[in-house]
Amino acid sequence: MRTFKQLHASAAKRKGGAAALESLMPEVKSPAALAKIPDDRWLSAMSKKIFQAGFNWSVVDNKWPGHEEVFSGFNPKRCAFLSDEDIEAMAKDTRIIRNIAKIAAVRENAVFLTRLAQQHGSAAKFFAGWPDDDLVGLLSLLGKQASRLSGNTAQIALREMGKDSFILTPDVCTALIHEGVVTKKPTSQRDLAAVQAAFNKWRTESGRPFAHISRILAFTVESVSKYDSMH
């Protein structure tokens, strides 16, 4: 496994220099800033990633104002009490993507966020307070307790909210294989623990957030995936 300094040099060479590489780094919010984000924005972001999964992202982007309207601004307390009849009616509403399973996931995740708010003061405070060096633990919790928030969907949702997160895109996985961290796309708890350990090591070496390390890793390989090239 190469050092972060070596990875950075490799990525910078591919992207036209260190300054060009730095311009491509994603934003990471402080825990204090994360904690101030209203819980309805967390539900909205999670829901958007769920609707985008396996679908044309631009179509979802264009229809998202309709989702905000239909789901009452993604107020978790309101969405948590949607009835089955409400969900069936929403599945016929042309303002939104009419996928009943994903619509139902909004209610389930509203219940999840409401529960976090009861336990921690707000769901935002829970996410802000989760230790960065155990991102795999947070992803596991989301996969088990939330709805349709496993794998890249959860990783991208956290990243776009500003929570420090690596994203296991195809290029990041390829880089991790090249570095000898794993031998295939990491899905088992053992492989994910190895990924976490590698990111923790590179963070200690560099002082960089996972989001930056993840992006730099992606740029060390020949082909950059759609997510890393656009975000």
Report the pLDDT value the prediction gives residue 144, as an integer from 0 to 100.
97
Q: What is the pLDDT of residue 231?
A: 46
**Using CA atoms, how far apart are residues 164 and 78, in angstroms rounded to an integer?**
29
What CA–CA distance (Å, rounded) separates 47 from 110? 10
Domain ranges of the chain: 4-28+166-230, 32-132
Q: What is the pTM of this model?
A: 0.93
pLDDT at 224 over 60: no
User: Does the structure show a pLDDT above 60 at 191?
Assistant: yes
pLDDT digits (tens, 9 = 90+) for 47-100: 999 999 999 999 999 999 999 999 999 999 999 999 999 999 999 999 999 999
Residue 83 and residue 175: Cα distance in Å, rounded?
A: 45
Q: What is the greatest pairwise CA distance in the chain?
A: 56
Q: What is the pLDDT of residue 228?
A: 57
Residue 230 has pLDDT above 70, yes or no: no
- DSSP for residue 36: T
Residue 3 scores a pLDDT above 80: yes
Q: Which CATH superfamily does the domain covering 32-132 fall into?
A: Hypothetical protein; domain 2 (1.10.340.30)
CB 139 within 8 A of CB 154: yes
- Quick one: CA dihedral 210, 214, 215, 216, positive or negative? positive
pLDDT at residue 129 is higher than 90: yes
Q: Within a 10 A sphere around the Cβ of 70, how many other Cβ atoms? A: 18
* CA 149 to chain centroid: 9
Contacts for 104 with CB less than 8 Å, ≥ 6 apart? 87, 147
Q: Which has the closest alpha carbon to 113: 43, 208, 63? A: 43
The answer on pLDDT for 206 being more than 70 is yes
Predicted pLDDT of residue 222: 79
Q: For residue 45, name the pLDDT band (cuts at 50, 70, 90).
A: very high
- How far apart, in whole angstroms, are the C-alpha atoms of residue 164 and residue 136? 12
For residue 225, pLDDT beyond 70: no
Q: Whole-angstrom Cα distance, residue 114 to residue 137?
A: 20
